[in-house]
């Protein structure tokens, strides 16, 4: 069995990254267009950060996203890949995804998250 454990947990055992089904409908708008609409989002809560919703790609208008070369690494989640949004307006690296996340957060594999300050809105609606 291989282990793909986040190295950050060894140095910071107090750090928490918790995931759960969001239990709400999540909608993302950009330049007045509904870009994402999901009843299957995952809510991720991490020490020192606001909650983030991760959405399945089939609930996102992927034709509005373009993969970029930008990458970042989180010691608790893994390497993030980025996408820019475009629909008459552009937002560079506005969306990210963990395509090979660490085991602790494997539930977010291939899901997409949006920077709130790079889209018009991220709203939640009770189901």
Counting the structural domains of the chain, the total is 1
CA 22 to chain centre: 13
Inter-CA distances, 57 with 32, 49, 80, 99, 126, Å: 20, 23, 15, 12, 21
80 within domain boundaries: yes
70 within domain boundaries: yes
Q: Which two tokens stand for residue 29?
A: 């708008």
96 within domain boundaries: yes
121 within domain boundaries: yes
Per the DSSP assignment, residues forming a β-bridge with 96 are: 82, 113
Query: Which CATH number fits the domain that encloses residue 70?
Result: 2.170.150.40
4 within domain boundaries: no
The pLDDT, as a whole number, for residue 127 is 78
How much of the chain, in percent, has pLDDT values that exceed 90?
94
Q: Which two tokens stand for residue 112?
A: 């997409």
pLDDT digits (tens, 9 = 90+) for 17-61: 999 999 999 999 999 999 999 999 999 999 999 999 999 999 999
Put simply, whether the predicted model's pTM sits higher than 0.75 gets the answer yes
Determine the Cα–Cα distance for residues 116 and 85; give it in Å rounded to an integer.
13
Q: What domain range is 35 assigned to?
A: 15-126
10 within domain boundaries: no
Which residue, 72, 68, 99, 97, is CA-closest to 85?
A: 68
8 within domain boundaries: no
Looking at residue 57, the DSSP 8-state letter turns out to be: G
117 within domain boundaries: yes
């Amino acid at each position: 069995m291989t282990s793909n454990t986040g190295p950050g947990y060894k140095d910071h055992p107090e750090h928490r990254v918790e995931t759960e089904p969001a239990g709400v409908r999540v909608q993302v708008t950009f330049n007045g267009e509904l870009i994402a609409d999901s009843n299957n989002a995952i809510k991720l809560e991490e020490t020192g950060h606001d909650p983030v919703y991760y959405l399945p790609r089939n609930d996102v208008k992927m034709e509005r996203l373009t993969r970029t070369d930008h990458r970042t690494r989180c010691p608790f989640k893994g390497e993030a890949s980025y996408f820019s949004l475009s629909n008459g307006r552009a937002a560079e690296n506005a969306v990210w995804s963990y395509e090979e996340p660490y085991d602790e957060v494997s539930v977010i594999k291939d899901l997409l998250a949006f920077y709130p300050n790079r889209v018009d809105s991220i709203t939640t609606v009770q189901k």
